[in-house]
Amino acid sequence: MDVLVSEVGPRDGLQSITRVMPTEAKRRWIAAEAAAGVKEIEVGSFVPASVLPQMADTAELVTYAKSIAGLTVAALVPNAKGAQAAIAVKADKISLPLSCSESHSVANLRMTHARVLEEVRTVANLIKELPAGERPSFEGSLSTAFGCTIEGPIRDADIARLAEALMEAGCDEIGLSDTTGYADPAAVKRLIGVVRNAVGEDKITGIHLHNTRGLGLANALAALDCGLTTLDASLGGLGGCPFAPGASGNIVTEDLVFMLESMGISTGIDLEQLIAARDILGDALPQEPLHGFVAHAGLPLGYHPARTSV
């Protein structure tokens, strides 16, 4: 498998909408994507249900997803308490976001950079206490890396400093996140270089991109050109866009897979099965708009995915 497409819809998609998807429908969604060949799914985030009722069943979903052979089960945690909950149900991967904009961090998490880094150290120590074979991978995610709706552009030097601080605090790797949809291909390449220079080439493998201004797939290509191998996406582009109501926020998983497979880059994902999984979302969230050009247009006549190209 050349590129890992990580499905984040059950977390980033669902937390961006007001409707609460039934747990059983979430299970069917996860199972359908795993059956289609998706190897990593972020099934939720460990936040208080009073804050995000959409995520109240995350522990249950991790336990369920762990029963699916070959699936890496990921979850987002905002702090050490959330990490404890994720560790308790044996999540394979946990991500903790550090907003490059301190104003955003305070407004969103009520934590300064220094406080977030304290939480990261605590989480790293919790993981170190586990037997080696039971430790989840720990990603420090640099959110608002490409710009902030409060502060505007973020200095490259600040991004580098925060990446170094996350690694020093105990993260295994760094992820870049275009939280606000500000990224463009040139910025993607530049910031990947900034982080690599700060923490090492092997410490950044993935990126989380939004399609807010229509540059999602172009930005994904830029990341691939830089050698990144993990791309986040959301089935049906589920997830809101703060700037254009009704527009896709996250990259559409189906469109991303189609692009990669058409280019001869194998994802290991069966596109027809993936598209069929959209029906689960349509049934459970009938009033929620789903996006994606491939699902609406259909596959081209004579289309061959990368793994069966002739």
100 is catalytic: no
Name the DSSP class of 12.
Answer: I
Rounded Cα–Cα distance for residues 64 and 73 (Å):
10
Residues in Cβ contact with 79 at an 8 Å cutoff, skipping those fewer than 6 apart: 96, 109, 111, 119
Torsion sign, CA atoms 297, 41, 61, 288? negative
Q: Name the active-site residue from 100, 148, 171, 241.
A: 241
Rounded Cα–Cα distance for residues 309 and 158 (Å):
44
Query: In the chain, what is the greatest distance between 2 CA atoms, to the nearest angstrom?
Result: 55
278-297 b/e with 16+ CB inside 10 Å = b? bebbeebbeebebbbebbee
Rounded Cα–Cα distance for residues 243 and 34 (Å):
32
* Residue (of 192, 255, 279, 179) closest to 229 by Cα position: 192
Provide the β-strand partners of residue 148. 152
Residues tagged active-site:
241
